[in-house]
C-alpha cells in the first residue's frame, strides 16, 4: 500500500483522499484553510456529497486518513503527491494556475527522493510541464491523472469509474500510479500527459455539447409538436448514441462544464484554431437560460410586475449543495428586473444567497409557492415529485407550472387544473 499526500480538500481532493484510504492506502490530506482542516479532523464534512461522510469517518477510524494544515506537512513523508487545488477561470477565459503553481512550489523541497507528483486538478494542456518546471526536481516525475467525478456521485464514480486515464512520459511512473488503482475495476489507459489533459477537457466539452444539442432538439420539439421524452428514448436505443446525459433542462451549469468549455475554446484559440463549434455550444446554453426565463414570463401573460413567482430548486443539479454557475441562478437573475416577487425553496440551501439579492429563500416548499402566480422548477430534486399538489393548487393564486427539468407528471398536474409548460414536451 502506498503513502499519498492529497493537496486541496475540495470535492475532488476530499473524495480522492477518502477513497484512496478506503481501498487501503495511507493518505494525508492538506488544505490551507485552518477551520476546514479542524472540522475534517473531527470527521465533519461541510459539503453535501453522497457516501462521503461515512467513507471519511471510516478512514479516520482506521488511521488511514488524516488531515493537516499546509501541503508541506502532508508531502514530507509521501511517495505520491496529488494536486487537487482549484483552477478557477481567469479574466480571459483561461484557467488560473496560481494555486497549482503555489502548491507545487510549497512541496518542491520537502518531497522524498523519487516521489511522483500527480495532477488531478483540471489544468490546461501542457500544465504537467509547468508543474515540473516549478518543482525543479529531476528525480520527481509529474503525471497527469484527470478526474471524472460528478458532484453528488463522486464516491461512486471514484470507486467504479468508466476508466482511469494516466498521462506520463515516464513509463515506470505511469505503472506506479496505475498500481494505486489495483483495487478498482476499470480500464486503465496510459498515454502522454498532453493527451491525458486533452481527454479531460474533450470529455466535459463533449458532454456539454450533448446537452446543448438536446436542449436545441427540445426547442425543435416544441416548434413541431413532438415530445422530447419520446425522441430521447428513440434515439437512446441506438447504442452509438446512448440514452445518458440527454435530459433537457433550463441550461447546464456547475463548477466544471462552463469553465472547462470556455477554457477549451481558449486553448484552441491559443493554438491557432478557432473552435467555433464550442462557442456555439456555449451560446445555445445562454439562449436556453433566456428561453426558460421567457417561459415563466409567458406563464404570467408577459407582465410580471406585482406578480409572485415560486421557485423549487437552486443548486446546479440535484444531490449537491453547490450553487456555482447554477442554471437556476441564471434563470432567476434574468427575472430580476421583471418586477415579480420571487421566493425559492431548495432542500440544500437554507438562507438567501448573494447572487440573487432579489430572491427570498425559504425553507419549506409550500412557503415558496404560497400566493404564487406561477411555479418554476429549476433543479431536479426527486422530493418535488412527491409533494401534495392538491395543497399546491390551494396555496397558489395562479395555476401555472413551468417545469424546467421535466420532473413533474404533466397529466397529474393538468388533472388538477394546472397549466403545464415543460421543456420540449
Catalytic center residues: 256
Closest residue by Cα to residue 338 from 367, 369, 298, 287: 298
- When binding is defined by CB under 6 A, the residue of 2, 89, 99, 148 that contacts ligand UGA is 148
- When binding is defined by CB under 6 A, the residue of 26, 49, 106, 147 that contacts ligand UGA is 147
Part of the chain binding ligand UGA (CB under 6 A), chosen from 41-49, 204-212, 268-276, 294-302: 204-212
- How many residues of this chain interact with ligand UGA, rule: CB under 6 A? 21
For the CB of residue 146, give the shortest distance to ligand UGA in the complex, in Å: 8
Distance CA 149, CA 155 (A): 8
Decide if residue 245 touches ligand UGA (CB under 6 A): yes
For the CB of residue 164, give the shortest distance to ligand UGA in the complex, in Å: 13
Part of the chain binding ligand UGA (CB under 6 A), chosen from 143-151, 172-180, 263-271, 303-311: 143-151
Do 348 and 412 contact (CB within 8 A), yes or no?
no
Q: Which residue in the block uniquely carries the three cell numbers 487545488?
A: 85
Decide if residue 254 touches ligand UGA (CB under 6 A): yes
Closest residue by Cα to residue 188 from 168, 203, 208: 168
From the number of C-beta atoms within 10 Å of its C-beta (0-12, 13-18, 19+), residue 333 rates as middle
Closest residue by Cα to residue 154 from 327, 16, 324, 29: 16
Per-residue CA distances from 23 to 27, 65, 173, 179, 337 (Å): 11, 11, 20, 12, 52
For the CB of residue 317, give the shortest distance to ligand UGA in the complex, in Å: 4
Max Cα–Cα distance, the chain, nearest Å = 71
Closest residue by Cα to residue 346 from 309, 318, 372: 318
Residue 179's DSSP bridge partners are: none
For the CB of residue 147, give the shortest distance to ligand UGA in the complex, in Å: 5
- When binding is defined by CB under 6 A, the residue of 145, 204, 285, 288 that contacts ligand UGA is 204
Residue numbers 56-95 binding ligand UGA by CB under 6 A:
none
Decide if residue 247 touches ligand UGA (CB under 6 A): yes
Nearer to ligand UGA, 99 or 148 (CB): 148
Nearer to ligand UGA, 75 or 212 (CB): 212
Distance CA 212, CA 206 (A): 10
Decide if residue 257 touches ligand UGA (CB under 6 A): yes
- When binding is defined by CB under 6 A, the residue of 161, 167, 249, 310 that contacts ligand UGA is 249
Chain residues binding ligand UGA by CB under 6 A are 122, 147-151, 204, 207, 211, 245-247, 249, 252-254, 256-257, 316-317, 327
Amino acid at each position: 500500500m502506498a503513502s499519498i499526500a492529497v493537496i486541496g480538500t475540495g470535492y475532488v481532493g476530499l473524495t480522492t483522499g477518502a477513497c484512496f484510504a478506503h481501498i487501503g492506502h495511507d493518505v494525508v490530506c492538506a488544505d490551507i484553510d485552518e477551520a476546514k482542516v479542524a472540522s475534517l479532523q473531527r470527521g465533519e464534512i461541510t459539503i453535501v456529497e453522497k457516501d462521503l461522510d461515512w467513507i471519511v469517518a471510516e478512514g479516520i477510524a482506521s488511521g488511514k486518513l488524516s488531515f493537516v494544515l499546509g501541503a508541506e506537512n502532508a508531502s514530507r513523508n509521501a511517495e505520491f503527491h496529488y494536486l487537487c487545488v482549484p483552477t478557477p477561470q481567469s479574466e480571459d477565459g483561461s484557467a488560473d494556475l496560481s494555486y497549482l503553481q503555489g502548491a507545487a512550489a510549497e512541496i518542491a523541497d520537502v518531497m522524498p527522493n523519487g516521489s511522483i507528483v500527480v495532477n488531478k486538478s483540471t489544468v490546461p494542456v501542457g500544465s504537467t510541464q509547468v508543474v515540473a518546471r516549478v518543482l525543479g526536481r529531476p528525480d520527481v516525475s509529474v503525471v497527469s491523472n484527470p478526474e471524472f467525478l460528478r458532484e453528488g456521485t463522486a464516491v461512486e464514480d471514484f470507486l467504479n469509474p468508466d476508466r482511469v486515464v494516466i498521462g506520463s512520459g515516464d513509463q515506470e511512473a505511469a505503472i506506479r500510479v496505475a498500481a494505486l488503482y489495483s483495487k478498482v475495476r476499470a480500464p486503465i489507459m496510459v498515454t502522454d500527459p498532453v493527451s491525458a489533459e486533452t481527454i479531460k477537457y474533450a470529455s466535459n466539452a463533449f458532454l456539454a455539447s450533448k446537452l446543448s444539442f438536446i436542449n436545441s432538439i427540445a426547442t425543435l420539439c416544441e416548434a413541431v409538436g413532438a415530445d422530447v421524452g419520446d425522441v430521447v428514448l428513440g434515439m437512446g436505443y441506438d447504442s452509438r448514441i446512448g440514452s445518458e446525459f440527454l435530459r433537457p433542462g433550463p441550461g447546464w451549469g456547475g463548477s466544471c462544464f462552463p469553465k472547462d468549455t470556455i477554457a477549451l475554446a481558449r486553448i484552441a484559440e491559443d493554438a491557432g484554431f478557432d473552435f467555433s463549434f464550442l462557442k456555439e455550444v456555449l451560446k445555445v446554453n445562454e439562449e436556453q437560460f433566456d428561453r426558460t426565463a421567457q417561459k415563466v414570463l409567458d406563464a404570467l401573460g408577459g407582465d410580471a410586475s406585482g406578480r409572485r413567482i415560486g421557485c423549487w430548486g437552486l443548486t446546479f443539479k440535484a444531490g449537491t449543495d453547490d450553487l456555482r454557475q447554477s442554471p437556476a441562478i441564471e434563470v432567476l437573475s434574468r427575472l430580476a428586473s421583471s418586477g415579480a416577487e420571487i421566493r425559492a425553496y431548495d432542500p440544500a440551501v437554507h438562507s438567501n444567497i448573494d447572487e440573487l439579492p432579489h430572491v427570498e429563500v425559504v425553507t419549506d416548499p409550500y412557503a415558496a409557492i404560497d400566493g404564487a402566480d406561477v411555479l418554476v422548477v429549476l433543479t431536479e430534486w426527486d422530493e418535488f415529485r412527491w409533494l401534495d399538489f392538491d395543497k399546491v393548487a390551494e396555496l397558489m393564486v395562479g395555476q401555472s407550472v413551468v417545469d424546467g427539468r421535466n420532473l413533474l407528471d404533466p397529466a397529474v398536474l393538468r388533472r388538477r387544473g394546472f397549466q403545464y409548460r415543460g421543456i420540449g414536451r
